[in-house]
A and B are shown apart, each in its own frame.
Chain A
Amino acid sequence: MIELRDVSKVYKIGEERVRALDHANLHVYPHEFVSIIGPSGSGKSTLMNIIGCLDTADDGQYLLDGTPIDDYSENELAQIRSRKIGFVFQSFNLIAKLSAEENVELPLIYQRVRKGERSRRVKEALERVGLENRAKHLPTELSGGQQQRVAIARALVTRPSLILADEPTGNLDSHTSSEILGIFKELHEQGNTIVLITHDNDIARQAKRIVHILDGRLTEVTG
């Protein structure tokens, strides 16, 4: 599913070169629930950007579903993101002007899915996160937990190969956090591949497999 082979990424900050990823190797198999844990500045975000095809590696090889992600143009990356990856962000990142329903619909519009099919899938996704009766609400009219559930529905709706969650509970209280994690577990049980990035050990422990990241290097933690 995901295969990182000696992936490196170097940022230049002024004169200094910061190695955000240092020959990182990672293998995620289909239907796995992996959490990647590391303190801030450990290269988590860079790893997530590369896995999420928001950025490309300087060195090494990244295979997503067997396809090497390498030297793609902006537009090709957008295509891959659109079809293979569902993002869930820490700050929900819903579009404030659009209702819950429309936010979920957006990725399908970008995939040019037809109207009838769209509304069917949007309804299905919202039901899955238990928000079918909040469909017409704007994000500002929803609680944090509900907003995050809309974001999860938006990630789900394209039936991606991979759901990539970046600190999905970072902005939520512990009660809502466990609710959201419950949804992720359910999704995993239904056969989705999930990569969860966090700095919180308790949250990381919810996953079947934990990978540690520190100074751009990955180490497997078996729990």
Chain B
Amino acid sequence: MLSLKMALRSIGANKMRAGLTMLGIIIGVLALVVLVSLVNSTTDSITSEVSSLGSSLLTVMVQDDHGAPVSLDDIQKWIDDEPSIAAISPFASDNAKGKYQRNNEDFTVYGVTGDYCAINGQKLVQGRYINLADLNNNSRVCVLDETAAKDLIGFTDCVGEEISLEGVKFKVIGVIKAEDSIASFFTSSLNAYIPYTSLVRLSTDTGTDLTTLYVGPADGYTVAQAEEALKTMLLERFDNDEDAFRLSSVNIIEEAMNKVNSALTVLLGSIAAISLIVGGIGIMNIMLVTVTERTREIGIRKAIGASHGTILVQFLIEAVMLCMMGCGLGIFFSWAILQIVSIITIDTSLSFHLQANVVMWSVLFCFLIGVIFGLYPANKAAKMKPIDALHYGG
């Protein structure tokens, strides 16, 4: 307690200098807390929007079919047999050149079944979706999303128009609402959905063996229950080989967002950490000056009985206290800035707030910096010989 008071008084004796020294730490903490909070708040709200789109989604990737490839009939049987599963759609995609009259566009063509619409929460705005008959007859029909319809055909009311994909004519049977902007963020090509069987004919990469399945749980069942049932079924089919397939219930977009988020957090965090280290060097510098200035005081203290440890602790506390005061001010300013940003962006769905774990990390980091950069000057002070120190400067 007493040493805290003493440290406070030494800092207070030179307020201007202490303030300037702390500035490095204040800016470092400000950068760390504000940047990381901004990134986290932004991605939080994006992720929550994304997850509202369809995280009740289960995907199955068959990696080794043990000679028993999954067919369209199999998935129909699974839907019928398993009460917790309402819908299964195979999924495959390929790139294709889309053409309408004289318009050319790059397309991603998805081979799916009628269930895909419901599983992925697609909303039909025009016409109908792919049905069982389309699938059985390998019909050359396609469903476009609004963006694709607008870009290729020029209008969304385009049911009945004919387009060609890789030179094969397809009839537009339906138009779905454009996917949320997040999805289109990842790809620049337009989307067309055709019966899986038609894609098999169109694309050389897609075979009749289904390797990727999208599964939608039935009403009243959770994703976890459906996943469990599916797993039991698949294990039975693939000789209890856990490595034969991969089941995941995480939204792909959400996963990608999380990756982006953590990458950004690490990046910004390290930039802020560097500025904190620079601030720490400033503290070390000033502490060295302080130690030299107070050589005589150290000599007096030692002459009247202060031990090595007492002096070390005294200067160390001073350095740590400088750091922590800077840290506290930095957190306060960050809070103020985030409040202002929140007020400015009040109309948007984004909300910015101080994140407890970031604050915790910055406090911890500042403390460590205080100790690390305070140790050398403090030790220098503590190692002074009392006679040398007493005779310093007179």
CB pair A93–B296 under 8 Å, yes or no, is: yes
Given A49-B387, A54-B386, A54-B387, the answer on whether A79 and B307 have CB atoms closer than 8 Å is yes
Minimum distance in angstroms from A21 CB to a CB of chain B = 14
Residue among A82, A96, A158 with most chain B CB within 10 A: A82
Q: 13 A-B pairs, CB-CB below 8 angstroms?
A: A54-B386, A74-B308, A74-B385, A78-B305, A81-B304, A87-B304, A93-B390, A95-B301, A96-B297, A97-B10, A106-B301, A110-B304, A110-B310
Describe B's contact surface by its main secondary structure.
Answer: helix
By a CB distance below 8 angstroms, the chain B residues around A143 are none
Q: Which residue of chain A has the shortest Cβ distance to B382 in the bound complex?
A: A74
The number of A-B residue pairs with CB atoms under 8 Å apart is 60
The answer, among B300, B304, B308, B387, for a CB contact under 8 Å with A55, is: B387
CB pair A111–B300 under 8 Å, yes or no, is: no
By a CB distance below 8 angstroms, the chain B residues around A54 are 303, 386-387, 390
Minimum distance in angstroms from B301 CB to a CB of chain A = 7
1/0 per position for A49-62, CB-CB distance to B under 8 A? Answer: 10010110000000
CB pair B13–A78 under 8 Å, yes or no, is: no
The answer, among B2, B9, B300, B308, for a CB contact under 8 Å with A78, is: B308
1/0 per position for A100-120, CB-CB distance to B under 8 A? Answer: 000000110111000000000
Q: Closest 10 interchain pairs by CB?
A: A82-B305, A110-B305, A107-B304, A78-B307, A93-B300, A54-B387, A75-B307, A54-B386, A110-B306, A107-B305
Provide the bound-state CA to CA distance between A49 and B389, in Å: 13
Provide the bound-state CA to CA distance between A154 and B305, in Å: 11
CB pair B305–A158 under 8 Å, yes or no, is: yes
Given A54-B387, A97-B13, the answer on whether A106 and B304 have CB atoms closer than 8 Å is yes
Minimum distance in angstroms from A138 CB to a CB of chain B = 11
Provide the bound-state CA to CA distance between A74 and B13, in Å: 30
Minimum distance in angstroms from A6 CB to a CB of chain B = 22
**A residues engaging B (CB < 8 A)?**
49, 52, 54-55, 74-75, 78-79, 81-83, 87, 89, 91, 93-97, 106-107, 109-111, 154, 158
Minimum distance in angstroms from B22 CB to a CB of chain A = 20
Q: Does B160 contact A (CB under 8 A)?
A: no
Q: Which residue of chain A has the shortest Cβ distance to B394 in the bound complex?
A: A91
Provide the bound-state CA to CA distance between A91 and B302, in Å: 16
By a CB distance below 8 angstroms, the chain A residues around B387 are 49, 54-55
Provide the bound-state CA to CA distance between A89 and B301, in Å: 13
Contacts of B144-169 to chain A: CB distance below 8 A: none
By a CB distance below 8 angstroms, the chain B residues around A158 are 305
By a CB distance below 8 angstroms, the chain A residues around B310 are 110
1/0 per position for B283-305, CB-CB distance to A under 8 A? Answer: 00000000000001101111111
By a CB distance below 8 angstroms, the chain B residues around A97 are 9-10, 13
Minimum distance in angstroms from B293 CB to a CB of chain A = 11
Q: A81-B303, A97-B13 are known contacts; what are 12 more A-B pairs with Cβ within 8 Å?
A: A49-B387, A78-B305, A79-B307, A81-B305, A82-B304, A82-B305, A87-B304, A93-B303, A95-B300, A106-B304, A111-B305, A154-B304
Provide the bound-state CA to CA distance between A52 and B387, in Å: 10
